[in-house]
């Protein structure tokens, strides 16, 4: 099949006016100007999108699909309070509820042009089955928690069992990893044990790290809302909290976590020496600018990280802390927050943001040889964005138009691994209305 559009954005090579991409058996086998491509492949069928931009699907490096029904429930509270209230709300749902919730999130990913996700899974089966239903390329990181060091072997065993179970139900586009949740929910010794497990099983590790001031206060001083109210609520108040006097990033270095293949989610509270630690161990960063801003956590210093050569991709985080899974919004927020905080309009641009949302994210998840750009030999994960709307006109630079002007509703087509999963704004593999209805029933449990 040949897919043609007014603009093709390969991302890692210049934009092509009146471009085309040839897909055969799920792979990109050629791309270039539409006229030349048609000459080289006269026998192939053509799908023409006309006034549209064709680009690689977005790579969302951090999301929690199974938390999607919590959208808009905890909109206006600080990180510590948000975490407390969220933990209480989570207890009200059962496994079947999380299955409905994950389907809602997967539906929004596909309709927003997200074709790959890095998902830290509370209910891994819910996420894996939702990804399979929609044909999403998924990296599911099994979450682990534990502050009681007498239970380390039990937690590692449970994690191993869950990893094994997910591997059994994983589709051909899915990968399984491990996610020690965060420094305020996982002890240093448990972090070390889970890292050893991940290394032995050749699994990637994703961990929430240096997200909030509350986390810094907890790690450095052993105090604050995460040391008191939060631990009391989860039943860890009889365990001693030891102040470490260091930053969350250096704390994990001390427990050998970065000896693993690590994605650090957030890294808002990162000093220059923290960033040097990330670089030294080639730790990748999942940057979630909207979630961090919404929860009042701050702005991650990704300009400094990129300058050091740290791999950075973009993430939406969950719908519990971000009300839409819209990578256009994340790209804009990335640019504007860096520019506003540095008081410079040249510190971050549209091309850089587009790279972080595509090939940069693929480098974070380790799938850059397969996806993240339009290149011969890569798998065909492509999306099309409709340029018919007034907010696109006039266009000179399609990267600028896309990054500064588009939003999730403009996506009308998605191809994952060569398969059409979203066509003219219709879901090919699922009953979309039913998913919305079932998610609304689950939300009723949170209202009551
Ligand atoms: Zn998260």
Residue 7 alpha carbon to ligand 1 centre in Å: 34
Beta bridge partners of 174: 138
CATH of the domain at 123: 3.20.20.140
Residues 43 and 72 in one domain: no
Residues 72 and 11 in one domain: no
Q: How many domains does the chain have?
A: 2
Residues 235 and 103 in one domain: yes
Residues 168 and 213 in one domain: yes
What is the β-pairing status of strands 205-209 and 262-266? parallel
440 domain-assigned: no
Residue 63 alpha carbon to ligand 1 centre in Å: 6
174 domain-assigned: yes
| 247: exposed, middle or buried (Cβ count in 10 Å: 0-12, 13-18, 19+) | buried
Residues 14 and 102 in one domain: no
Residue 240 alpha carbon to ligand 1 centre in Å: 26
Contact 347, 303 (CB under 8 A): yes
The token duo for 33 is 């100007």
Closest CA to 316 of 347, 293, 296, 336: 293
Residue 20 alpha carbon to ligand 1 centre in Å: 37
Residues 64 and 47 in one domain: no
Contacts of residues 396-400 at CB distance under 8 Å and 24 or more positions apart, as own/partner, are: 397/15, 397/350, 398/7, 398/9, 398/15, 398/53, 399/9, 399/15, 399/350, 399/351, 399/354, 400/350
448 domain-assigned: no
**Which of 336, 365, 394 delimits the end of a domain?**
365
The rounded average pLDDT for each run of 10 residues, N- to C-terminus, in the chain (448 residues) is: 98 97 98 97 96 97 93 85 84 90 96 97 89 96 95 97 95 96 96 98 98 94 86 81 93 97 98 98 98 95 96 95 94 97 94 98 98 98 93 90 95 98 94 92 84
332 domain-assigned: yes
Residue 290 alpha carbon to ligand 1 centre in Å: 12
Residue 184 alpha carbon to ligand 1 centre in Å: 13
Output the 3-class SS for 133-185.
HHCCEEEEEEEECECCHHHHHHHHHHHHHHHHHHHHHCCCCEEEEEEECCCCC
Residues 41 and 72 in one domain: no
Determine the pLDDT at residue 234.
80
DSSP 23: E
Residues 66 and 182 in one domain: yes
Residues 407 and 340 in one domain: no
**Which of 365, 390, 424 delimits the end of a domain?**
365
Residues 291 and 405 in one domain: no
Residue 265 alpha carbon to ligand 1 centre in Å: 7
CATH of the domain at 409: 2.30.40.10
Determine the pLDDT at residue 448.
63
**Which of 338, 365, 392 delimits the end of a domain?**
365
Please tell me the distance from the alpha carbon of residue 70 to that of residue 73, in angstroms, as a whole number. 5
Contact 6, 51 (CB under 8 A): yes
438 domain-assigned: no
Residue 62 alpha carbon to ligand 1 centre in Å: 6
Residue 49 alpha carbon to ligand 1 centre in Å: 36
Closest CA to 117 of 327, 420, 282, 262: 327
Please tell me the distance from the alpha carbon of residue 255 to that of residue 158, in angstroms, as a whole number. 21
23 domain-assigned: yes
Q: Where do we find the tokens 């290394």?
A: 199
143 domain-assigned: yes
Residue 301 alpha carbon to ligand 1 centre in Å: 18
What is the residue-wise DSSP string for 69-133?
A: GGTTTS-S--HHHHHHHHHHHHTT--HHHHHHHHHHHHHHHHHTTEEEEEEEESSHHHHHHHHHH
What is the β-pairing status of strands 426-427 and 419-423? antiparallel
Contact 139, 114 (CB under 8 A): no
Q: Is 54 helix (H, G, I), strand (E, B) or coil?
A: strand
Model pTM score: 0.96
Determine the pLDDT at residue 393.
83
Residues 28 and 67 in one domain: no
Residue 120 alpha carbon to ligand 1 centre in Å: 7
Residue 432 alpha carbon to ligand 1 centre in Å: 25
Helix 327-342 and helix 350-357, axial crossing angle in degrees, nearest 10: 130
Residues 284 and 415 in one domain: no
Residue 225 alpha carbon to ligand 1 centre in Å: 19
Q: Give whole-number Cα distances, 337 to 25, 136, 160, 344, 374, in Å.
A: 41, 30, 39, 10, 28
Domain coverage including residue 388: 2-56+379-432
370 domain-assigned: no
């Amino acid at each position: 099949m040949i897919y043609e559009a007014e603009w093709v954005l390969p991302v890692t090579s210049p934009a092509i006016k009146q471009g085309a991409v040839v897909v055969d058996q799920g792979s990109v086998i050629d791309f270039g100007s539409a006229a030349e491509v048609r000459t080289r492949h006269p026998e192939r069928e053509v799908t023409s999108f006309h006034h549209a931009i064709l680009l690689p699907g977005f790579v969302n490096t951090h999301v929690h699909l199974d938390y999607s029904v919590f959208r808009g429930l905890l909109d206006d509270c600080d990180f510590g309070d948000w975490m407390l209230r969220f933990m209480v709300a989570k207890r009200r749902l059962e496994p079947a509820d999380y299955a409905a919730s994950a389907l809602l999130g997967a539906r929004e990913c596909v309709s927003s042009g997200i074709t790959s996700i890095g998902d830290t899974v509370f209910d891994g089966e819910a996420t894996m089955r939702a990804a399979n239903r929609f044909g999403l390329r998924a990296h599911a990181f099994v979450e682990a928690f534990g502050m009681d060091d007498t239970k380390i072997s039990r937690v590692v065993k449970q994690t191993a069992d869950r990893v094994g179970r997910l591997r059994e139900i994983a589709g051909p586009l899915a990968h399984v990893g491990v996610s020690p949740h965060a420094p305020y929910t996982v002890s240093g010794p448990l972090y070390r044990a889970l890292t050893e497990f991940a290394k032995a099983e050749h699994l990637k590790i994703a961990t929430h790290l240096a997200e909030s001031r509350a986390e810094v206060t907890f790690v450095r001083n052993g105090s604050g809302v995460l040391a008191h109210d939060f631990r009391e609520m989860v039943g860890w108040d009889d365990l001693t909290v030891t102040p470490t006097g260091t930053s969350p990033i250096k704390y994990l270095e001390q427990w050998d976590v970065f000896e693993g293949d690590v994605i650090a989610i957030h890294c808002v509270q990162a000093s220059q020496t923290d960033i040097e630690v990330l670089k030294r161990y080639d730790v990748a960063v999942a940057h979630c600018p909207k979630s961090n801003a919404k929860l009042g956590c701050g702005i991650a210093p990704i300009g400094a990280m990129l300058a050091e050569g740290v791999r950075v991709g973009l993430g939406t985080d969950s719908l519990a802390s971000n009300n839409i899974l819209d990578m256009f919004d994340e790209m804009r927020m990335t640019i504007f927050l860096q520019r506003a905080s540095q008081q410079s309009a040249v510190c971050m641009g549209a091309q850089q943001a587009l790279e972080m949302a595509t090939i940069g994210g693929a480098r974070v998840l380790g799938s850059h040889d397969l996806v993240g750009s339009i290149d011969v030999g890569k798998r065909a994960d492509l999306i099309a964005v409709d340029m018919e709307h007034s907010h696109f006109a006039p266009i000179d630079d399609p990267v600028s138009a896309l990054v500064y002007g588009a939003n999730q509703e403009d996506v009308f087509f998605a191809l994952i691994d060569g398969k059409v999963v979203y066509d003219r704004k219709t879901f090919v593999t699922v009953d979309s209305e039913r998913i919305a209805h079932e998610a609304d029933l689950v939300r009723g449990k949170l209202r009551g």
